[in-house]
Amino acid sequence: MLSTQQNLSVNQLLGPWHRWIRSLRTWLPGECLVCTQPVKTTQDLCTHCFSQLAYNRYCCTRCAEPLLSQRKDLLCRSCQETPPAFDQVLAPYLYAPPLDALLLNFKKNAKRTAGSLLLDLLMAELKTHPALQQAEALVAIPGQKDRLRQRGIDPPAWLAQRLAWQLKQPFLTQGLKRCRNITSQQELSRKKRWLNPQGAFVASQEVKGKKLLLVDDVVTTGATCHWAARELKEKGAASVTVIAAARTPF
Ligand SMILES: [Zn+2]
Ligand SMILES: [Zn+2]
């Protein structure tokens, strides 16, 4: 297990290397990762696809569930009735075209350039957010072992590691682990979906007293993040802000 100090050293070593590799790409021609049109920028997304991004501007201030109201200070009914364990979800985009295609490429096809683009899009929206500026460590929602074996990539951990390099904070790879697999959420009722991930995570003592960023790729019901955040807080985390590329309505 890497200590926080070792994690920081790894970040200091790999951060510049990661930035150097990315800067090399400015010299290479590319294609849009969604529609395959040629692109001249380093963004890997053509102007048309970029203009089609759906932003999650009007959402619950706690769980980021999209809301119909255009006010920016509302809590959804679910958060009013049963406040979740996390402090806030930051998910600046909706799970809709063209971002859904990027996420699919990243998660199912293990396409790392799609992951890099997702991270760029996230940072474009959240770079100056106080929760990112104040974060003291990062953890990721752990993947299910069978899916990791199939796909060869753990998307939340992959994003968390690179976000940690950018924020110059440690990624606690052992900070949050899965102690059982979660059955598929799709066929379950709303209440059962909420309870399904209960007891699926175990956090380490490394998180004690820390302001954490908990990284996921897509937040759907918020239940996984709730139970993960609850475990992190039971182990003494000072705060848990969830950061995700996209949000779907529950
Ligand atoms: Zn395109
Ligand atoms: Zn909410």
For the CA of 35, the nearest ligand: 1
Q: Is residue 1 part of a domain?
A: no
Q: From the centroid of its chain, how far is CA 162?
A: 11
For the CA of 242, the nearest ligand: 2
Residue span of the structural domain in which 206 resides: 54-247
For the CA of 102, the nearest ligand: 1
Outline where DSSP puts E strands in 5-105: 30-31, 38-39, 88-90, 93-94
Helix, strand, or coil (residue 101):
helix
Distance 57 CA to ligand 2 centre (A): 14
Instruction: Identify the H or E element spanning 108.
Output: none
Closest alpha carbon to 212 in 168, 159, 172, 165: 172
Distance 26 CA to ligand 1 centre (A): 18
Q: Is residue 16 part of a domain?
A: no
pLDDT tens by residue, the chain, 250 residues: 445 555 555 556 666 666 666 666 666 677 899 998 888 756 688 899 999 999 999 999 999 999 988 777 799 999 999 999 999 999 999 999 999 999 999 988 888 989 999 999 999 999 899 999 999 999 999 987 766 666 778 999 999 999 999 999 999 999 999 987 777 766 677 788 888 888 889 999 999 999 999 999 999 889 999 999 999 999 999 999 999 999 997 6
Q: Is residue 107 part of a domain?
A: yes
Bridge partners (DSSP) listed for residue 240: 212
Q: Is residue 177 part of a domain?
A: yes
Q: Is residue 14 part of a domain?
A: no
**CB pairs under 8 A, 24+ apart, for 144-147?**
144/178, 144/181, 144/182, 145/178, 145/181, 146/181
For the CA of 45, the nearest ligand: 1
pLDDT on residue 139: 98
Residue 122 in tokens: 């996230």
94 touches 78 (CB < 8 A): no
Which CATH number belongs to the domain containing residue 131 in this structure? Answer: 3.40.50
Distance 183 CA to ligand 2 centre (A): 24
For the CA of 117, the nearest ligand: 1
Closest alpha carbon to 30 in 100, 92, 97, 116: 116
Instruction: Give the CA-trace dihedral at 23, 27, 30, 34, to 10 degrees.
Output: 20
Q: Is residue 26 part of a domain?
A: no
Distance 50 CA to ligand 1 centre (A): 7
Residue 61 in tokens: 């201030």
Q: Is residue 214 part of a domain?
A: yes
Closest alpha carbon to 90 in 232, 239, 233, 247: 247
Q: How many domains does the chain contain in total?
A: 1
Bridge partners (DSSP) listed for residue 59: 66
Q: Is residue 113 part of a domain?
A: yes
